[in-house]
Amino acid sequence: MSMVGLESATSLGSTVILPPVSASTSKLEDINPHFATSHHLNNTYHPHHHNIHTLSHHHIINPNQQMLQSYQQQPPQDFYLPTELIQQQQQQITQQPTGTQRGGNRRSNTNALSPVDQENCPVCGDRVSGYHYGLLTCESCKGFFKRTVQNKKQYQCSADQNCPIDKTCRKRCPHCRFKKCIDRGMKVEAVREDRMRGGRNKFGSYYKRDRAQRMQRIALSSGTNNASVINTSLSPTSTNSSSAGSTTGSFQATSSTTSNTTSTTDGMINRSTPENSSQLSYFDNTEGKIKQEYDLLIQSPTLSNSTHSSSNISDFVMNRPTPNYMQSDNIAALLGTNVDPQGNQLSNTTFPVYACIKSEHFEPYGQRSNQPTFMENFMPTSQGNVDYSNNGFQNTTIGHISYANMTPITTIPSNIASSINNASPLLPICPLPTETTIDQVFYSRPKTTNILDELSKSLENCSPVYHLLQKQTNNVSDRFQYSVSVVEESLNSLVSWVKHVPYFDKLHMDDQMKLLYSSWSTIHLIDFTFAIINNEVHPELNFDVNGFRMPTAVVGLLGCESLQPKWDELVHRMQSLRFDRYDYTAVKFLALFDESLVYGNGAGLHENLKNIALIKEIHASILYSWVEYKGLSLISENDLRSLFTQIRSLARQAQKFLYTKYQMGQIDCSLLKEMLRSQEDNNPQQAVYNSL
């Protein structure tokens, strides 16, 4: 083996790994402080200590893995290639000479139209050798992932847990490499506990579907003589009628041209995890019935052969984004999904990182019929009261609000039962909040805990503003383009971060996207404004290389320099209110959980939010906490609301400015374009931001 980078292999268990490169060169996606230093793992790998520690062995659940990240340009519509074309393409793949498809050299036939040929490993950028543990990866990352899970290794990063990972330096920091594997969607459950070889697992159908989509995208983007066939498949009649659960979207012919070049420092890594990656949804309740259900399934023989009805939990285990967002599932893919094919909400789902599974082949699961289905766990039992101890609502609070004393109902009239699926995941099963309930929630709050305290913990996951600014120093032609590139990076960071925000991650993905669409510019402005007034970044950017200067605030204003006077006013007001980190946290989360924000004036549109009640609850709680915090300084709630509104208004004006730039074709960033496009998609009749 050739020695790569700073690593040198010595004797057993003593590979020396020198410190990774500077954190400033890391990818935003790698910054994931939620990544648990698993205490499930036995072997702690300390590169600097040259030894291996043995820790106790017990399972952990990493709440971070609710959603898979996907970094590919996403389809505008939910349509598919004709089955014949897909089959044709599959034949091209399978008609390769046997014996040449081994290991890393398989799929070397360049004529084959296969994802394996087209993709780079989403972890390190090396050549993909096939699906491994839920993801198209290279052989080395497959092996690395397998070793890590099988041997329960625990690594330690000697830097800031955001080391870049690419083909040349993937060996330097196994901690960050594994983190990236997880972040990109590799599934520890696919590593067999009993190490049984061969056979198939329940991911098969997912791989098949994903492969079909990839081939479709490849076909669409290749612009070959298949084009005529493809185009006919894109008729409007086929775009909106896809059956839920059967598809995961397809690909836009023009979208792939810009998707893989998003500014990142480890440019070798294409954004190439499975688009619309499905995820395993799972209750974060070790004792819970849901997990038992999950385990039962995941240890089961192949699902496709199971005798289960199609409506059992298996439908929820591998779930898909809803077709509604196929036109914008760049974000959808980044967010992942926690909705089931029927569009019901899967809330309170987390992902078992170190739940390495037993082989599926030997595990009996005949008792399954005695287990409640996933949805049954949400529903009242017919025998009596709901058992909250096992349904995921146990000890649930919003900040300082406890719902423990709520009385569940035992039967639900059919006309309101359907609303339960859209109800707050934080509420016990209770079809409609009563006045009493609301009173209890909002006016009898114990002061021991605070939702902002809870939410603020997730801020550790945010990329600092200076980091965003630092990363965008190349290929910048002018101030506006620089701003746009930073905004794009900021959006990447935002989407990464938001997945780990408490409560947000429990929302239906449709809601998550709507909130993101309507809050991104405000959050971006808040981040930059606070960074400036808090002296985290210099108020002026000076580019020696490019020869231009600009106020940092302009970046916060999405490149709109004419808004600077208004921004100055805002800052003046913030400073007069002694705007501090707590205020920053409050405003940021108010912006995120703002149901009234959705789509500008959005008359009635907020009703489209599936979890409107929860979002309102959270918003109110945040405001309450903020008022409480500011209470001693003679600032009224209205002052705070007004400040928030002012920030939001400014951000929307900036967004309006950017939208005109977008219409003029001056923006070439995929995420940003999606954000700007969203206002068209969702509100074509209204000039969304006319309400400013």
Partner DNA sequence: TTAGCCTTGAGT
Partner DNA sequence: ACTCAAGGCTAA
Measured over all CA atoms, what is the biggest interatomic distance in the chain, rounded to whole angstroms?
A: 78
* Minimum separation from the CB atom of position 370 to DNA (A): 22
Q: Residue 106 or residue 479: which is nearer to DNA going by CB?
A: 106
| 109 binding DNA? (CB under 7 A) | no
Task: Specify the residue, 313 or 487, whose C-beta has the smaller distance to DNA.
Answer: 313
Binding flag, residue 2, DNA (CB under 7 A): yes
- How far, in Å, CA of 92 to CA of 61, rounded? 41
Alpha helices (runs of H) in 223-267, residue ranges in sequence order: 227-233, 256-259
Interface with DNA (CB under 7 A), residue from 57, 59, 195, 549? 195
Among 33, 82, 104, 431, binds DNA (CB under 7 A): 104
Comparing CB distances to DNA, the nearer of 52 and 627 is 52
Task: Return the structure tokens found at 524.
Answer: 């971006």
Tokens encoding 12: 């057993």
Q: Which is nearer to DNA, 65 or 653 (CB)?
A: 65
- Token pair listed for 500: 């780990």
Distance (Å, whole) CA 269 – CA 163: 13
- Closer to DNA at the Cβ: 45 or 503? 45
Q: Is 181 in the site for DNA (CB under 7 A)?
A: no
**How many Å apart are CA 505 and CA 425, to the nearest integer?**
11
Q: Whole-angstrom Cα distance, residue 358 to residue 362?
A: 8
Closest to DNA by CB, 125 or 556: 125
Binding DNA by CB under 7 A: which of 29, 78, 126, 617? Answer: 126
190 binds DNA (CB under 7 A): yes
Instruction: Restricting to residues 337-356, name those near DNA by CB under 7 A.
Output: none
Q: Which is nearer to DNA, 133 or 378 (CB)?
A: 133
Work out how close the CB of 29 gets to DNA at its nearest, in angstroms, rounded to a whole number: 19
Buried b or exposed e, range 493-518, using 16+ CB within 10 angstroms = bbbbbbbbbbbbbbbbbbbbbbbbbb
Among 200, 573, 673, 677, binds DNA (CB under 7 A): 200
Q: By CB under 7 A, what part of segment 134-153 binds DNA?
A: 134, 138-141, 143-144, 146-147, 150, 153
Q: Which stretch binds DNA (CB under 7 A): 124-132, 501-509, 537-545, 616-624?
A: 124-132
**Going by DSSP bridges, is the β-strand pair 279-280/135-138 parallel, antiparallel, or unpaired?**
unpaired
In sequence order, the 6+-apart residues with CB closer than 8 A to the CB of 35 are 62, 64, 161, 179, 182, 183
Structure tokens, 379: 């529903």
| Residue 170 in contact with DNA, rule: CB under 7 A | yes
What's the CA dihedral at 464, 469, 475, 477 to 10 degrees?
Answer: 150
Residue 42 tokens read as 């036995």
Angle at 278 between CA 277 and CA 283, to 5 degrees: 140
Question: What does the alpha-carbon distance between residue 216 and residue 72 come to, in Å, rounded to a whole number?
Answer: 14
Q: Is the Cβ of residue 174 or residue 288 nearer to DNA in the bound state? A: 174
Nearest approach in angstroms of CB 231 to DNA is 27
Task: Give the shortest CB-469-to-DNA separation in angstroms.
Answer: 32
Q: Binders of DNA among 33-52, rule CB under 7 A?
A: 43, 45, 52
User: Nearer Cβ to DNA, position 3 or 664?
Assistant: 3
| DSSP of 408-475 | PPS---HHHHHHHTTS-TTS-S-SS--HHHHHHHHHS--SS--HHHHHHGGGGGSPPHHHHHHH--SS
**Which residue carries 């049984």 as its tokens?**
196
Q: Interface with DNA includes 364 (CB under 7 A)?
A: no
What is the footprint of DNA within residues 284-313 (CB under 7 A)? 301-302, 304-305
The strand pair at 548-551 and 540-543 is best described as antiparallel
Question: How many residues sit in the footprint of DNA (CB under 7 A)?
Answer: 59
Lookup: tokens for 167:
């083909």
Q: Minimum distance from CB of 353 to DNA (Å)? A: 15
Distance CA 689, CA 692 (A): 6
* Helical ranges in 238-328 per DSSP H: 256-259, 289-298, 314-317
What minimum distance in Å lies between the beta carbon of 158 and DNA? 14
Residue 164 near DNA by CB under 7 A: no
Cβ closest to DNA, residue 40 vs residue 153:
153
**Least Å distance between CB 99 and DNA?**
8
Contacting range for DNA; rule: CB under 7 A; set: 6-14, 216-224, 368-376, 583-591: 6-14
Name the residue nearer to DNA (CB basis): 42 or 440: 42
Stretch that binds DNA, among 91-99, 241-249, 285-293, 405-413 (CB under 7 A): 91-99
Cβ-based burial of 681 (10 A; exposed 0-12, middle 13-18, buried ≥19): middle
**244-261 residues labelled b (16+ CB within 10 A) or e (exposed):** ebebbbbbbbebbeebbe
The per-residue DSSP string of 256-277 comes to HHHHTT-S-SSTT--S-SPTT-
Out of 56, 83, 84, 98, point to the residue binding DNA (CB under 7 A): 98
Q: Please identify, among the stretches 123-131, 308-316, 327-335, 517-525, the one whose residues bind DNA according to the rule CB under 7 A.
A: 123-131
Q: Say whether 53 sits in a helix, a strand or coil.
A: strand
Residue of 670, 70, 683 whose CA lies nearest to 321: 70
Binding status of residue 174 toward DNA by CB under 7 A: yes
Residue 76 is a binding residue for DNA (CB under 7 A): no
Measured distance CA(556)–CA(483) in Å, rounded:
8
| Listed ranges 125-133, 230-238, 336-344, 398-406: which one lies at the site for DNA (CB under 7 A) | 125-133
Q: Report if residue 102 touches DNA, rule: CB under 7 A.
A: yes
416 binds DNA (CB under 7 A): no
Q: Does 4 bind DNA (CB under 7 A)?
A: yes
Residues interacting with DNA, by CB under 7 A? 1-2, 4, 9, 12-13, 15, 43, 45, 52, 90, 93-95, 98, 101-105, 126, 130-134, 138-141, 143-144, 146-147, 150, 153, 170-171, 174, 190-192, 195-201, 203-205, 207, 211, 301-302, 304-305, 361
